Amino acid sequence: MRDEAAPIVILTGAGISRESGLHTFRDPDGIWAKYDISEVATPEAFENNPALVHSFYNDRRKILHDPAVIPNAAHHALADLEQNWPGDVLLVTQNIDDLHGRAGSQNLIHMHGELFKVQCLHCNAISPWQDDLGSEDKCAQCGHKGSLRPHIVWFGEMPLEMERIYRALEKCGLFISIGTSGNVYPAAGFVEFAHHQAEAETIEINLEPSDGASLFDNGIYGPATQTVPAFVD
């Protein structure tokens, strides 16, 4: 039985937002079935065709603005867990949507960036996204024109706040992975790090066993809106 106040690190992926109406990446109806990664999710793609990359993320912002797309019971359960657990709870999401924040999670890291932020390639400032991005947009901080990129971590780029994440993993007693296929590193390696460095208990909660399921001590399988609230209760 785990320590009642053990620090918890939770990793979430696209599966937790599926029942809010957002697509995952690698399921048959996922985003990578419609788009080629090399055309929209690498720094080279942005260099070669910024208009296409802006339009890909502008479309995803539109979907997130749909009033029907709201945090679901799994997002709310994790916010409740943070409020009620006597120890630290760090929520690390690979998702670029804002559903965890809207559900009330506060100790939250968006390791792959955020759809509603932009970064200026001229002055590096990160600002809130204002409008549909195009190549003529001006940085709100330095005024430079045409230098804004989505604040998204693409393949080959370093995910955000890695030191803080590994510090929390080093001392966690429980590591929970929710709604992620475990295909993308470094996130896919967190389970082994938590297991070996912290001797943490590790649990996978997913629709079905992921490719890395055997790395976890336990697995709970089914739709996140059912499994996550039941687990948190």
Sites of contact with ligand BJW (CB under 6 A):
13-15, 18-19, 24-27, 30, 41, 94, 96, 112, 152-159, 179-181, 183-186, 206-208, 210, 223-224
With a CB cutoff of 8 Å and minimum separation 6, the contacts of 79 are 100, 103, 104, 105
Using CB positions, name the residue nearest to ligand BJW: 15
Number of helical (H) and strand (E) elements in the chain, helices listed first: 10, 9
3-state helix/strand/coil string of 114-125 = EEEEEEECCCCC
Closest to ligand BJW by CB, 115 or 173: 115
Closest to ligand BJW by CB, 27 or 88: 27
Q: For residues 123 and 144, give the distance between their C-alpha atoms in angstroms, rounded to a whole number.
A: 8
Q: For residues 156 and 42, give the distance between their C-alpha atoms in angstroms, rounded to a whole number.
A: 7
**60 annotated to bind ligand:** yes
> Which position has the token pair 């912002």?
61
Q: Is 195 a catalytic residue?
A: no
Closest to ligand BJW by CB, 4 or 29: 29
Catalytic pick from 54, 75, 100, 112?
112
**123 annotated to bind ligand:** yes
Known binding residues: 57, 60, 94-97, 120, 123, 139, 142, 179-181, 206-208, 224
Known binding residues for NAD(+): 94-97, 179-181, 206-208, 224
